[in-house]
Amino acid sequence: MTLNPAPIEEITGPRHAQVLPSFAANLMKRRMQVNGEKVSGEELLAWRGTLPNYIRANAIRNKFVKGHRPRFEILWHSPIGVHLRPGWEGSVTPFYQTRLRAAIDSLTDASQFPKLTLRQLKELLRMPVAELLELLAKLESSYWTAEHSNQLIQKPLHPETPLQMLAVTDEWLADVNIALKADWVDRVSDDDLRFGGTGQQSLGTWMRETIAQSSVSETVVALGNALVRANTASWTQELEELAQAALSHTKRRPGSNEARQRWVRIFLAKLRGPRPRTLQEVGDEFSLTRERVRQICSTIEDALAANAVATPALDKLLAAAARIAPVTAEQADHELSKLLGSGTGIYCALEFAEVLGKKPDVIAGTTNVRTPHGIEHIPMIRLRDQASDWMTKAIQAVRKDCRGVGCSNYVRIAGIMSLDEGVVIDQRELEGLLEAVPGYRVLDKEGGWFTVALGEETAIANRLKKLFAVASQSITVDDLLIAAVTDDRWLQLAGRGLCIPPIHVLIQLVSSWTWLHKDRHNKMRPIEPIAPQAVLTEIELLAIEVIEANDGVATRSDLAKVIVADRGWTNVALSFALGSSPVFMKIEHSIYRVAGRPLSAPALVEARLRRDRELRQANEVVLDEINTDEPLRITLTQAAGSAPAQRRVIYLPKQYREHVRGAFTHARGAGPSINVSSAQQILRLSAFAESRGVAPGEAFEVIFDVNRRTYEFVHAGDRGDN
């Protein structure tokens, strides 16, 4: 854009340096130091020797513009005083020729050109101030002579135009003072693309002192408005202003204002949406190739990365994102929508921060979540210094809980993460993480209870389906809760004891299942009938047949006669089914009925009579008739209590007291030696039974061989011996 200077030997006297036009050079009251050398306004208009090269000329102009920014009204309102002499086209490039001709055509008379103020010409040409001064200097140099220089030295051609001072309102002062309290204002660099500096003190300090006066200049008003706008802008608004500023500081720029705005729209389109768009997507929108889109976006990005840029809106956005992380990208976009602005997402902001070379406290990532349809990759944002694998492990712990009792608690999951992973997380972080999991729903916000699984996928739902399969009427919520917590074996699904939720949480959980219909008075029934054969085990179906055969009420002996004696199941398997299945309700000792069905009073009376007869017959057993020549199969009950299993004892039924006593070893050497005392206490058997999966209070069988002094352990559900 610069003309090659004439050879030194052709120079006959001082000439125009082609750096600043005379009306600007007149404003330089003292010598200005640039890159270690000093230069004055007089020297710029009467330059001796080789003309400054492009780099030095550009440095002088930029230093001049930055130094005079606080008093820019002098420049804005100064007539340019530059004439378009015949042959002026040879002083500038074709690009500027086109623009100048368009500006001249907009005037009623070409003679008006020298009378234009700098602001008026800038609005016509739409060029950066430094570039506009360079253009005017080249035009002026085409007719500048030493005579002009001498006249300038003796008397300035264009005296300073007085500053136009404005009175400001209290409302404007209040808005500007609020902006000046922001920390980012005092950190604005002197080289900032949008604001610049005073060159002597921080922008904030200078602005506070200036607005304290009774009146301020137009430049100060404009700067104050810019600070207020930047302090309250969303990130998308800030992004557009930065793109506009960047195009004023690039070598390659559009040739018209319309093209300039199109470049800005192209750049913004790449960062529109929840995720950054591809070059192809932007190119399709604007009918451009991918390479052209890349060139336009790179031009703006390179200018932003190479210059000082204040980004208060982006900084506030990233700080807010760090406060809510970890969280799904979708939830972050929702919570940060006001800071983001319309039509964009946090992933776009993080990519732009990377362009500027920032390293925010949050980064983008994904978390894998298992769903009925496979593994889903959920977009997340998390803290930069926080490991990401704890998120997956936290979700795994939550799903284990919900597969059991259908819900979990924030405090419980935070405790598991602290103990197992050494990660300290709070409820807010867990909430942000779990919102990505399908089926997440809060059951009790104050208590921290939530669910992430559908009811059909949980053990508690499977238990209640058994109850609904045999019930002949709607089931009350209380009965459902009793059925849900009557057995604790199903609570061991997660590898560690699950946390039983309170009643009101279970009511919220059960009421949300789509396969249940809630009647009035808190009663439930399935929407579609549930076939017993689909959900009940074989021994449960057999037990129901026996109970129905006894008019709905049966004793333990009634059940054992059919299930154990006739069908070959063990007493342990029968006891396990009666104690753990939700379909059986224990009315009183050794008397059972089917849950969810009306109770027949006559059948209960008959069952009590049968039980009494059974007890009398048992008490009449003659101990001497017990045949110890064959192994004795004895039903025992696992010891309960809070003491360790090694210190608990199991008691032998009293009818075997005289026959089973002393030490016994395991028949296959798989268990410890046990000892049966005279007080019917069996030592060391409780710990062994616990290791084989027998819960406190649960029945199991042991086969004692009195002659060989050995014993065998029988598992629940087995049909024969181990």
Residues 37 and 76 reside in one and the same domain: yes
- Residue of 370, 305, 367, 281 lying closest to 330 (CA atoms): 367
Residues 350 and 455 reside in one and the same domain: no
Rounded CA separation 558/697 (Å) = 22
- Whether residue 168 is contained in a domain is answered as no
Mean pLDDT of 226-248: 90
Which residues touch 277 (CB under 8 Å, ≥6 apart)? 269, 270, 271
What percent of the chain is predicted at pLDDT more than 90? 20
Q: Measured between alpha carbons, how far is residue 84 from residues 23, 109, 131 in Å?
A: 16, 12, 18
Task: Give the least confident one: 241-255, 332-346, 545-559, 701-715.
Answer: 241-255
661-714 confidence digits (pLDDT tens): 899 999 988 899 999 988 889 988 999 998 888 888 888 899 999 999 999 998
Mean pLDDT of 61-87: 80
Q: How do beta strands 662-666 and 710-714 pair?
A: parallel
Residues 365 and 257 reside in one and the same domain: yes
- Whether residue 552 is contained in a domain is answered as yes
Residues 464 and 604 reside in one and the same domain: no
- Domain end, chosen from 533, 551, 566, is at 533
pLDDT given for residue 414 in this prediction: 86
- Whether residue 176 is contained in a domain is answered as no
Residues 659 and 706 reside in one and the same domain: yes
Q: Return the half-sphere exposure (C-beta side, CA atoms, 13 A cut-off) of residue 540.
A: 22
Domain count, the chain: 5
pLDDT given for residue 7 in this prediction: 38
Say yes or no to pLDDT of 494 above 80: no
Residues 524 and 648 reside in one and the same domain: no
Say yes or no to pLDDT of 112 above 90: no
Residues 356 and 446 reside in one and the same domain: no
Residues 437 and 396 reside in one and the same domain: yes
- Whether residue 174 is contained in a domain is answered as no
pLDDT averaged over every residue in the chain: 81
Quote the tokens at residue 643: 């003491």
- Whether residue 223 is contained in a domain is answered as no
Rounded CA separation 2/54 (Å) = 7
Position with higher pLDDT, 63 vs 641? 63
- Whether residue 195 is contained in a domain is answered as no
pLDDT band at 616 (very low <50, low <70, confident <90, very high): confident
Locus of tokens 């406290």: 361
17-67 confidence digits (pLDDT tens): 888 998 888 888 778 888 778 888 888 888 877 888 878 888 888 888 887
- Domain end, chosen from 533, 562, 578, is at 533
SS3 labels along 76-129: HCCECCCCCCCCHHHHCCHHHHHHHHHHHHCCCCHHHHHHCEHHHHHHHHCCCH
- Residue of 676, 537, 646 lying closest to 702 (CA atoms): 676
Q: Which domain holds residue 66?
A: 8-154
pLDDT band at 198 (very low <50, low <70, confident <90, very high): low
Residues 449 and 504 reside in one and the same domain: yes
Mean pLDDT of 265-278: 92
pLDDT band at 374 (very low <50, low <70, confident <90, very high): low
Quote the tokens at residue 2: 């610069």
What does the buried/exposed string (b/e) look like for 173-212 if buried means 16 or more CB atoms within 10 Å of the residue's CB? eebbeebbebebbeebebebbbbbbbeeebbbebbbebbe
Question: Of all helices (H) and strands (E), which one includes residue 346?
Answer: helix 346-355
Mean pLDDT of 150-160: 37
Residues 380 and 462 reside in one and the same domain: no
Residues 508 and 631 reside in one and the same domain: no
- Whether residue 50 is contained in a domain is answered as yes
What percent of the chain is predicted at pLDDT more than 70? 85
- Residue of 587, 615, 590 lying closest to 601 (CA atoms): 587
Say yes or no to pLDDT of 8 above 50: no
Count of beta carbons in the 10 Å neighbourhood of residue 54: 11
Task: Give the least confident one: 292-296, 355-359, 401-405.
Answer: 401-405
For residues 350 and 360, the answer to whether their CB atoms sit within 8 Å is yes
DSSP label at residue 707 = T
Position with higher pLDDT, 491 vs 213? 213
- Domain end, chosen from 128, 154, 180, is at 154
Amino acid at the residue 113:
F
Residues 49 and 103 reside in one and the same domain: yes
DSSP label at residue 490 = G
